[in-house]
Structure 1
Amino acid sequence: MSGIWAQYALYNRLANETLYEACATLSDEARRRDLGAFFGSVHGTLNHLLLGDRIWMTRFEGGSHPSTDLGAILFEAFDALRAARATMDRRIEAFFVALPADFAERDLRYVNNSGFDTTDPASVILPHFFNHQTHHRAQVHTMLSQLGQDPPVLDLHRVLRPNPA
């Protein structure tokens, strides 16, 4: 069962490494420039993505994450944000490599960010988790273009290709 999810976790890590490498070429001013995205800037969007992953991973691991502003800036400094992203990606990979066989058949009960106690099937939440990451990486990809940077290739089949070409 964990095979496809472990593959997505690997892709997530590699895509984030590639995206952060591209974002590192931006000035701090450019990373923080409000470009009209939902979380404003590259910096805001990268922080949101890390926060979302923290929330979902805590839920997947059986914990609860306090309700918070989804636009919160967790890390002001890009280097600290990048280090936290790398730590989170290792956590995600480790979890999904060892995913219990019945995990996708479970229901996940949690209190959402609006304070509602809710339950969703893991079979819906697992794809949401990885889709959410891809969605926001795509926003950053677009913002890189808006800032005059060449956005990196993030296609799953190219990122996972053993010998990238």
Structure 2
Amino acid sequence: TCLYFGQFKKLPSCKSDTVSNQKLVSMVEWHASERFQNMHASYYHKAHACIMVFDVQRKVTYKNLNSWYKELREFRPEIPCIVVANKIDADVKVTQKSFNFARKFSLPFYFVSAADGTNVVKLFNDAIKLAVAYKQNSGDFMDEVMRELESFDLQKSSENSSDKESCPEEKPPSA
């Protein structure tokens, strides 16, 4: 499931747009479970941050973090990544446990409950800040190429719209 504007929807993935400090940020969530061994490389394209979530009630989801993280770093070696322990509402004592995965890779770690909203807003606000900072300061070659292409598209779009505004529409000659 995906938390989307405060509602739960059963979707394999979902997208939302939000504004962060006057910047439009698109957030896309891919629900990848243990039934998938990996994701297609295109899913990593243009990603500027990653939130890796595991279910505190299902150990296999925690154990799978290693393979997901390895795959993430294969395609996006530098983007910020956050590790999240979800479903803390089921047993608050879990917040007293130590989860070494995040510490091992020096990754930010959050305890959340998607069901009751605990730390969800903070998690997404922090993820957005990390993604925006990464995109603005990235030395990643692919990000530089994408910035150039986006800039080119904006310039081309701007030129096309100014041409339309300045040139009157031609009318066919009257017979």
Structure with the higher strand share, 1 or 2? 2
TM-score (norm 1): 0.33
TM-score (norm 2): 0.31
Give 1 or 2 for the bigger CA radius of gyration. Answer: 2
Structure with the higher helix share, 1 or 2? 1
Between 1 and 2, higher relative CO (CA 8 Å, sep ≥ 6) is seen in: 1
